[in-house]
Amino acid sequence: MNSPDRVGLLGLPSLELAPHLLGAHVSTFIGGRLVVVRLTEVEAYDGHQDPGSHAYRGKTARNAGLFGPPGTAYVYFTYGMHFCANVVCGQEGTASAVLMRAGEVVSGRDTVLARRGNPKGPEAQLLSGPARLAQGLGLTLEHNLARFRDGTAVPPGPDLALGNLAIAPAGYLAGPRTGVAGDGGGEEYPYRFWLPGEPSVSPYRKAAPRKVRGGRD
């Protein structure tokens, strides 16, 4: 019945799961296209106690997926145009989750290129950044609350899968999260994890305040 092995590593809280996601394979079968990506950079979000988490202020309609069972996909819409995707983990209700930030294409490169709009930049940048990665995988709000299946083979099962989770990376680095403003940013929350030497890992930037709009004179 409720054997813990069935949930497996996804039952770990985000700070423990995050390193396992490095080097793991994410597979999507969306729109009849299979894409497999090897993750190189992730960020952990630690639920209600984490000022950087969407769950910090409690459960809302938007972040409800964070409070779901491990293996839930939490996809959100931001900046009026981008989607970002998390793997919900830990015990149900704790809102522990890992944001997928960057990766490299393992399979389905043509599909990824088309979805990304055939960008002109270097190949390493193709899936460098959470919105780029989600776009390449074909993830949108339609996939919010979907479930990640264990394993690489996707069709004809669920749309999303996670493989190679059990393989711990030989070495990885950790540091402050990118783009997180306020108390959740900075050295006190070294919740960003990446594989050293991977060209797809996005450079660190502080969360810069935007220019004030609608300035009157």
Partner DNA sequence: ATGTTGATCTTCT
Partner DNA sequence: GAAGATCAACATC
Binding site for DNA (CB under 7 A): 43, 45, 52-55, 57, 60-63, 66, 74, 77-82, 84, 86, 97, 99, 116, 119-121, 125, 128-133, 177-182, 202, 207-214
CB of 35 to DNA, least distance (A): 16
The full 3-state SS of the chain, as one line of letters, equals CCCHHHHHHHHCCHHHHHHHHCCCEEEEEECCEEEEEEEEEEEEEEHHHCCCCCCCCCCCCCCHHHHCCCCEEEEEEECCCEEEEEEEECCCCCCEEEEEEEEEEEECHHHHHHHCCCCCCCHHHCCECHHHHHHHHCCCHHHCCCEEEECCCCCCCCCEEEECCCCCCCCCEEECCCCCCHHHCCCCCCCEEECCCCCCCCCCCCCCCCCCCCCCC
CB of 42 to DNA, least distance (A): 10
- Measured from the CB atom, is 145 or 151 closer to DNA? 145
- Cα–Cα distance measured from residue 157 to residue 163, given in angstroms and rounded to the nearest whole number: 14
- Measured from the CB atom, is 21 or 180 closer to DNA? 180
CB of 71 to DNA, least distance (A): 16
- Cα–Cα distance measured from residue 111 to residue 130, given in angstroms and rounded to the nearest whole number: 18
- Measured from the CB atom, is 29 or 191 closer to DNA? 191
- Measured from the CB atom, is 127 or 154 closer to DNA? 127
CB of 80 to DNA, least distance (A): 3
Amino acid present at 133: L
CB of 7 to DNA, least distance (A): 20
CB of 194 to DNA, least distance (A): 14
- Measured from the CB atom, is 60 or 171 closer to DNA? 60
- Measured from the CB atom, is 197 or 209 closer to DNA? 209
159: tokens are 């749309």
